[in-house]
Amino acid sequence: MKNHESEFEFYELLRRFFVEYLPYTVNASPHTIVSYKSAFRLLFTYFAEKTDVKVGGITFMTLDFDQMNGFFDWLINERKNSRTTAKQRMGALSSFADYAQSRNLDAAIVFRTSLEKIAKKSFRRVKGKMRSSFTRQELKILFSLPDTTSRLGFRDLVLLSVMYASGARAQEICDLKVQDVEFDDIDNAILTFTGKGEKTRRVRITADATRLLIRYINYRKIDKMSEKYVFPSQRNNHLSVPAIEEIYEKYITMAKSEYPNMFCNGPYTPHVMRHTTATHMIEAGVPLPIVKNILGHSSIQTTQIYLDISQQTVDRTLVEWNTKWFPGKDLEEAALPHKKSHIPDFLN
């Protein structure tokens, strides 16, 4: 009886994941749902063809390290999936593992732990750490999270917006004083930052960020107090870098909880916002020497790395475009009736 209940729980959670959670709770795109279904159809095919486990008898306990490791070996070695494709399958399974674990920690922990071990073993980055950046949709979500009816929430929104608009380092934001903010006649504030090596630079920020910053300074009633730090902590007049790191951690955690299919290229530190600013500037056609001056780099070689980030974004966009307009195997399979009895109906 207990084993039957375990089987039922796995299939019921998987059904709800596809029928309710993906399309309605997180509003996942049709292509994402199709891709995720394909990953699980492959998983069921692997169990049916390569193991002694009956597909109808799969439980969370069945999905242990040995079985899941065998599945990914099968994908790469027998089906000749690229490591990128296999990593996409990992993303689909991990998304369900997160969903299941949030609803039954004890049941799904073996499955989730197995995937984590395999990801570290098989899909870790080999050529050095890739620099993360936020997508525009992720930024929109991030900026929507602070509760601006509270003092700290208002501060957090202005801080995030100014960091994106300026590309400033966390320490530079901590050190920003009222006297470092200049408002001109064209609705764009000019911020003076003191960066590495005590070098100063002036950065003009967007009109939207300027309006927020004006409101915030007036809200704090510090517009005439030139020596006041713009962003205080709860207890001190001077915000610290660890405090900014905690702010990012707070909102990234909230964002991942509400949008589990996004914010997947972390870790997201405050410096990621600086990477994002640089990447978006280059994508918008801002010349590299100007980006260099805005970021305060001493050498243009340092700025050059963002060209690689931008190319990664271009490549990802092209893949998404090709997938959408020139359907590959996953979408073609989805259009065909599936006669194999080992595939649950909700995965067709």
Q: DSSP characters for 226-287?
A: TTSBSS--SS-SS--HHHHHHHHHHHHHHHHHH-TTSS-S----HHHHHHHHHHHHHHTT--
The per-residue pLDDT for 341 is 56
Task: Write the CA distances from 337 to 102, 211, 345, integer angstroms.
Answer: 33, 55, 10
The per-residue pLDDT for 331 is 42
Handedness of CA 86, 120, 264, 68 (dihedral sign): positive
pLDDT at 273 over 80: yes
Identify which of 21, 12, 93 has the alpha carbon closest to the alpha carbon of residue 258: 21
Higher-confidence residue of 151 and 311: namely 151
Task: Report how far residue 228's alpha carbon sits from residue 225's, in angstroms, rounded to the nearest whole number.
Answer: 6
Per the DSSP assignment, residues forming a β-bridge with 193 are: 201
- pTM recorded for the entire structure: 0.54
Which CATH number describes the domain made up of 136-298?
1.10.443.10
Task: Report how far residue 248's alpha carbon sits from residue 251's, in angstroms, rounded to the nearest whole number.
Answer: 5
Identify which of 308, 259, 288, 283 has the alpha carbon closest to the alpha carbon of residue 127: 308
pLDDT at 60 over 70: yes
Average model confidence (pLDDT) across the chain = 80
Tokens of 101: 């674990």
Band (pLDDT 50/70/90 cuts) for residue 333 is very low
Cis check for the bond before 232: say yes or no (omega within 30 of 0): no
pLDDT at 311 over 90: no
pLDDT tens figures, 115-134: 988 887 776 543 444 457 88
Domain ranges of the chain: 2-124+329-347, 136-298
Residue type, 28: A
pLDDT tens figures, 229-240: 999 988 888 888
Task: Report how far residue 155's alpha carbon sits from residue 148's, in angstroms, rounded to the nearest whole number.
Answer: 8
The per-residue pLDDT for 108 is 79
The per-residue pLDDT for 218 is 92
Q: What is the mean pLDDT of residues 250-271?
A: 84
Tokens 């089987």 label which residue?
A: 7
Identify which of 333, 321, 342 has the alpha carbon closest to the alpha carbon of residue 37: 333
Task: Report how far residue 187's alpha carbon sits from residue 205's, in angstroms, rounded to the nearest whole number.
Answer: 9
pLDDT at 94 over 70: yes
Task: Report how far residue 296's alpha carbon sits from residue 83's, in angstroms, rounded to the nearest whole number.
Answer: 37
**Three-state secondary structure call for residue 38:** helix
Q: CB–CB of 343/48 below 8 Å?
A: no
Task: Report how far residue 43's alpha carbon sits from residue 186's, in angstroms, rounded to the nearest whole number.
Answer: 58
Q: What share of the chain is helix, strand, coil (3-state, %, to 5)?
A: 65, 5, 30
